[in-house]
Structure 1
Amino acid sequence: MMYKNSILLGTIGGYRDRFHQFQKDRSLEERLEIAKTIPRTHGVEPVYPQDLGADGSGAAAVKASGLAVSAVNVNIKTEPKFRDGSFTSTDAGLRAETVQYIKTAMDLAADLGTDMITVCPLIDGWDYAFQADHQKQWGWTIEAFAAATAHRSDVKVSIEYKAYESRNHIVMPTMAKTLHLCDRVGAPNLGVTMDVGHALIAGECPAAELAIAHDAGRLFYVHFNDNDRGADWDMLPASVHLWQTLETLHYMRRIGYDGWVAYDVFTRTGDNVEAIASTFEIMEDLEKILDKLGQDTIESIIASGMPQQGYRDLVKGLL
């Protein structure tokens, strides 16, 4: 395993949906202490401003923990002011404030010893036909990321795309459109967070999307989880899509990905800390399966175009 495991600090705190709260709230300090006890943890992903504070005061606790930081996650969706959009708000002042969130997070990231922030613009999009001015939304998005990436060249801005939620349609729903945006902006420090669960609900093949992001030189970050493609359930990796997860890990090996991997895994039942510990163990076991199958065998199956005996050999390799 060449990559490094990171805990999204939100996954070991409170978790709720429209109907229930499933996990208890924990302070930043509590979550950092817990993270230190979970085996195979290499770092954490804190959220700005919810974890780090609008003034960045929470950075002191992260530093004191001694944990490395994979990226600063910028939340520009849940505060009431963002209800009608952040990057694509019709309010120019709010769009400017959104860009300032990114710039502040970039400064905090550098202060915390990482070279990356990640952002998922889930509130930017539309629900109904004729609800949004698509030309303006696209133009505002380009302008926002151009301004943000120009703030400092030593910190990467990684966009986590998603097909839907909170909007029925989101401005950046797929890998292809996100890479197109990166090209339109043109900044070398703008790239993509490839979330396996988000690729699945978009009807994508995670391994294929990872490959094209790498080819574009814009694969900055990877998130793992799983779902049934019906919704982004944030389940344990490979709990539904075993073969697709193994294929994604194989391509990470093939391209030599040695960056950070974080895990959007939220659990309704049981202990959420145990879920993250189990996630790390599952990922290690998946790597062992790849070792058992053997890279040469996998590559020969790919080269063969997967005739019947290829799938047979894959299945036998699990025995």
Structure 2
Amino acid sequence: MATKNSILMGTLGKYSDRFHTYQPARTFEERLAISKKTVGADGVEPVYPQDLGHEGEKVQIVKDSGLDVSAVNVNLKGEDVFRAGSFTNPDAGVRRRAVDYMKRAMDMSADFGANMISVCPLIDGSDHAFHVDHMAQWRWSIEAFEEVAAHNPDVKVSIEYKAYEVRNRIIMPSMGRTLHFCDRVGADNVGVTMDLGHALIEHESPASELAVAFDAGRLFYVHFNDNNRQADWDMPVASVNLWETLETIHYMDTLGYNGWIAYDVFTRAGNGPEAVGYTFETMDNLRALLAKIGPKKIKQMIESGDSALTTRDLIKALL
């Protein structure tokens, strides 16, 4: 089974920073229609509850679109009730609500046949010293994911780690911490979403972290985008870190990852939906570039350990 391409539904709507809005707001139905027309898109990643509705009011619309669902993205930060955290909130009632959100999303994902949710705990962590009880947060997190994993062992629970934003330091900032957390939970259906941009801002080697997660049997999902390692800009794939992106694709393909790839890509200039389509084309071109270099030459570069040789041969492949 080859990898399949998915569009994160949020990338097709309004994109704002503190100063400007760069893309128009679009309804869920409009974003689904765009996804359906995008060449290269095999499916979508809708958000619960913002896209699908608290009670699944928009589930049938997705089914009627004919698009596959790669995963249901659970948003545990967007509502004001989660301002002080979701499954790490000091209020037990809010923690219960976060767990219930994940369970409902699992039920919807099973109904779609996706059998995977992706959760990025952006509101869980701390902003400064003595801000939170770290041990309480850690234990609440383990308890939450133990319960969620047991809700339906056939549905994967994929944790998308990130170093910071919304919190200054998120409770699962890195691949290593997240894999350790998965082991502490101890459920086979708990794993990791590796977002290439998140690995970059944590100053990780994306290819290395992908390989480690794959070896652990916990690489459930991959997101592609790019940034300058300082902030999570969700830039087009390989627009900044060409070689690291190439290396990540190389390991992803040679290790045999055959799951979904979702594209978390925004553009300030130009047409947002077109940018996603260009990203699919870019990925095809990057794979063609790897094929041009060839596995023999790649093996030679790795075994030599010679940065000059590597740089020469990579640049030659571009000519």
TM-score of the alignment, normalized to the shorter chain, above 0.5 = yes
Output the CA distance in 2 between the equivalents of 1:14 and 1:109.
25
Identify which range, 246-255 or 292-301, moves more after superposition.
Answer: 292-301
Number of residues paired by the alignment?
319
Matching of residue 69 in structure 1 with residue 69 in structure 2: yes
Matching of residue 289 in structure 1 with residue 289 in structure 2: yes
User: Structure 1 residues 56, 313: closer, same or farther in 2, change over 3 A?
Assistant: same
Tell me what 1:85 maps to: 85
Shift of 1:109: 0.2
SS where residue 77 of structure 1 aligns? Answer: coil
Tell me what 2:28 maps to: 28
Output the CA distance in 1 between the equivalents of 2:160 and 2:308.
36
SS where residue 233 of structure 1 aligns? Answer: coil
Output the CA distance in 2 between the equivalents of 1:11 and 1:268.
11
Output the CA distance in 2 between the equivalents of 1:146 and 1:20.
41
AA partner of residue 224 (structure 2): F
Tell me what 1:200 maps to: 200
Q: Deviations over 1:249-289 (max 9, x none)?
A: 00011111111000110112211011101111111110110
Output the CA distance in 2 between the equivalents of 1:13 and 1:231.
21
Tell me what 1:100 maps to: 100
SS where residue 220 of structure 1 aligns? Answer: strand
Matching of residue 57 in structure 1 with residue 50 in structure 2: no
Output the CA distance in 2 between the equivalents of 1:196 and 1:139.
28
- TM-score norm. by structure 1 comes to 0.98
Q: Deviations over 1:286-309 (max 9, x none)?
A: 011011011121112111213522
Q: Deviations over 1:180-232 (max 9, x none)?
A: 00000000000000000000000100000000000110000000000001100
AA partner of residue 133 (structure 1): D
Output the CA distance in 2 between the equivalents of 1:31 and 1:95.
31
Shift of 1:20: 2.2
Shift of 1:312: 1.3
Matches within 5 A, 1:167-178: 167-178=167-178
User: Structure 1 residues 127, 307: closer, same or farther in 2, change over 3 A?
Assistant: closer
SS where residue 210 of structure 2 aligns? Answer: helix
Output the CA distance in 2 between the equivalents of 1:23 and 1:312.
40
Output the CA distance in 1 between the equivalents of 2:13 and 2:247.
31
AA partner of residue 136 (structure 2): K
Tell me what 2:123 maps to: 123
Q: Any conservation in 2 of the 1:293–1:318 contact (CA below 8 Å)? A: no
AA partner of residue 139 (structure 1): R
Tell me what 1:12 maps to: 12
Output the CA distance in 2 between the equivalents of 1:266 and 1:176.
27
Tell me what 1:313 maps to: 313
Runs of 4 or more off by more than 3 Å in structure 1? none
- TM-score norm. by structure 2 comes to 0.98
Tell me what 2:237 maps to: 237
Shift of 1:6: 0.2
In structure 1, the gaps of 5 or more residues are none
Tell me what 2:143 maps to: 143
SS where residue 150 of structure 1 aligns? Answer: helix
RMSD across aligned C-alpha pairs, in angstroms? 1.0
Shift of 1:2: 2.5
Output the CA distance in 1 between the equivalents of 2:310 and 2:18.
45
AA partner of residue 212 (structure 2): I
Q: Any conservation in 2 of the 1:120–1:160 contact (CA below 8 Å)? A: yes
In structure 2, the gaps of 5 or more residues are none
